[in-house]
Amino acid sequence: MLYPKNPLAQTVIQLCKAKNIQHIVISPGSRNAPLTIGFTNDSFFTCYSIVDERCAGFFALGIAQQIESPVALVCTSGSALLNYYPAIAEAFYSDIPLVVLSADRPRYLIGIGDGQTINQKDVFANHILNSANLKLNYEYGPKNTNEGEPAIIKSIENKLERILGVKQEIDEENETKINTALNKAISGNGPVHINIPFEEPLYETTDKLEVKPKVIDIEVRKKKIDDFFIQECYDDWNSYSKKMILVGVNHPNKIDQHILDELAKDNSVIVFTETTSNVYNKHFFNSIDKMIAPLSEEEFQELQPDILVTFGGLIVSKKIKGFLRKFQPKHHWHIDKKNANDTFFCLDKHIEATPNQFFNSLLPRLTHFVKSDYKPHWSDVKSVRDEKHQAYLNEIPYSDFKVFDSVLKAIPEQSILQLGNSSAVRYAQLFDLKKTIQVFCNRGTSGIDGSTSTAIGCAKTSKKQTTLITGDLSFFYDSNALWNNFIPNNFRIILINNQGGGIFRILPGHKNTKKFETFFETTHDLNAKHLCKMFDFDYVTALNERQVKTQLKTFFAESNQPKLLEIFTPRTINDNVLLDYFKFIK
């Protein structure tokens, strides 16, 4: 087997292998050559070459999202590293493990005007679980005065270091830092950054390993929920007749089914779920905005819970956030092993456990349900909303709203749905999805910048068919995502092209002015036809309701290339159709 001759590169690669980090997403460069040589010549690793570092970051995030373990990113020095930042921030807020391995110049070459050089140390400081800044092994230090400090000073330093065993100390320090960072990514489910200085020569290889780094195991501390704490929760739970459970972004199959079934039996409990919650029960309340948007002040007071229990990631619905901030519960408990956001400004319990651990401790203590008409009353409201929803669909013209109804009904069973941010995920919230569909969206930062890349990373890793539903601005913003040799043939993109940022027409603002259309809505006349031709996608279009339904009949059939369906909708009526919807279902 071929190895990089650089011992620091060998150390990093061997420790990644020891921690079972198999997927390596590499962006081309020279300074990272020792890492690239090592990873690509070892069959243990699955390596991907993605030119655009921003796309590479989200592609890796899509893989890590599916395998639920760290994926490594490898880049050269300089601004290349900064392009990972959007994906790092998303991983940080979505609890997705990424390992950034950035090549760097030696310290003596930084700040002297050398090319492709920035201050890489702690560059992700505010959005990272761990930053490891490794030290150069002086065996690879500068050899002459043209490379930095005077040779005589460096020569003396190197001799002293050898005498004092500093080289060994540096090696041990580096090994500890690498172990700590990798362990943090695994145990903390988030991004870490390992910055690695490499001295030239960069391309030298050897046929044997020169290092055997120490592997430091993760410290596992099992924390049991205190019985007194559970009893306290039980006493509160049994004292109130209005309990609301709100589930945010949640990975599929994370909650025991018997817990969901037990909660669904309790008339004092309403369970609100979102499209990204991946939790289903016929007695739960999905489509939150459909449910609460038409409520009057008096009805909001009736819905106001005594106890609010939340778990999962961030909440999409602005309406539920607005409601619970104004009509605060007496108690808000958040269940999460890592942290708890005080989203509604009334958090009083952070339950440091998984939902399974908490409910499996609480529910067996409940010998009876509190008598309540809380859920029955709102279930009746939900039935009326559903009838009104269907009636509205029957009378509206061709629009985004009608397109989403058709598209979401067509998504295949047992498949994965990736949603773009902004309009796409919000429209999806208003419709019922098949319960076998697994739904994902980059809701950590809710940015439009990497939805396509994430979906492709997911599609490459998952055995299930993956469909991305995205808006036009998000798609064109991340169009380099298609510059990717790893897109499976069963990957599908449904692009809703309403010629601009349609979400801004729904928000307060002065619509139908030149400045609004230019600087907010950003209207355009672009389409995806030539991008699809360049990147070898099968391209089809739809301009009206009949064409949409016709194209969807065959869109998910097996093919020899990935497919994109571009659906054009009328830009100037979509907002009115959506806003009128909430009036109609009231």
Task: Give CATH for domain 3-202.
Answer: 3.40.50.970
pTM over the 0.85 mark? yes
Are 194 and 19 in contact, with CB atoms under 8 Å apart? no
For 391-415, what is the mean pLDDT?
96
Report the distance separating Cα 415 and Cα 182, nearest Å. Answer: 32
In the predicted structure, residue 151 carries a pLDDT above the cut 60 = no
Predicted confidence (pLDDT) per residue in 324-373, tens digit: 999 999 999 999 998 999 999 999 999 999 999 999 999 999 888 999 99
Domain chopping of the chain, boundaries: 3-202, 227-376, 396-584
- Topology agreement, domain 3-202 and domain 227-376: yes
Predicted confidence (pLDDT) per residue in 245-280, tens digit: 999 999 999 999 999 999 999 999 999 999 999 999
Are 465 and 538 in contact, with CB atoms under 8 Å apart? no
CA 563 from centroid of its chain's CA atoms: 23
- Least confident stretch, 157-171, 201-215, 233-247, 546-560: 157-171
Residues facing residue 347 across a β-bridge: 332
Predicted confidence (pLDDT) per residue in 18-59, tens digit: 999 999 999 999 999 999 999 999 999 999 999 999 999 999
> What architecture does CATH give domain 227-376?
3-Layer(aba) Sandwich (3.40)
Task: Give CATH for domain 396-584.
Answer: 3.40.50.970
Report the distance separating Cα 56 and Cα 86, nearest Å. Answer: 11
- Residue 287 tokens, joined: 């489509």
- Residue 314 tokens, joined: 């961030």
Are 409 and 305 in contact, with CB atoms under 8 Å apart? no
In the predicted structure, residue 157 carries a pLDDT above the cut 70 = no
Residue 131: its H or E element: strand 130-133
